[in-house]
Amino acid sequence: MEQYLTLQNIGIATGFALILIGLYGGLTNKNILRIIVSFTIFNSGLNIVIVALAYLKGRVAPIIDDTTGLDNLSQKFVDPVPQALVLTAIVIGLGVTGVMLAYALKMYQNKQTLNINDFKETKW
């Protein structure tokens, strides 16, 4: 039990839990705004999983300053590439959320309802 209790595993487990909670909320709710809220929770969980996978025990953030020195950096830093990807993912997540919300607002203005079962035209 003790060897599983690392920072990385805690992060991965939390992220998975958030992903499952978000999926459950997205699949069971009828209200379109609640589905979008579930999507943002799902998004946060996914980001935590990716960053936690990049974490290495006992290493520090990939920014050079007085405490890190200049040599042997690949032995000291965590992986910077997944962090960069997650950074972009968060910004794109905001764009996607904004588009979904604008779409929901437009549908509400047309039909005065938020229940997704009432939007039948685009069903396939």
Tell which positions 62-121 bind another protein, by CB under 8 A. Answer: 62-65, 67, 70, 73-81, 83-84, 86-88, 90-99, 101-106, 108-109, 114
Q: Is 33 in the site for another protein (CB under 8 A)?
A: yes
Q: Is 68 helix (H, G, I), strand (E, B) or coil?
A: coil
* CA–CA distance, 71 with 55 (Å, rounded to integer): 20
The count of residues interacting with another protein (CB under 8 A) is 82
Q: Can you tell me which of 1, 30, 55, 121 binds another protein, judged by CB under 8 A?
A: 55
Q: Is 1 in the site for another protein (CB under 8 A)?
A: no
Q: Can you tell me which of 1, 4, 123, 124 binds another protein, judged by CB under 8 A?
A: 4
49 Cβ contact partners less than 8 Å away, ≥ 6 residues apart: 11, 12, 15, 16, 19
Q: Tokens for 92, please give them.
A: 């794109």
User: Within 13 Å, how many C-alpha atoms sit on residue 31's CB side?
Assistant: 5
Tell me the closest approach of the beta carbon of residue 21 to another protein, in angstroms.
5
* CA–CA distance, 121 with 124 (Å, rounded to integer): 8
Q: Is 30 in the site for another protein (CB under 8 A)?
A: no
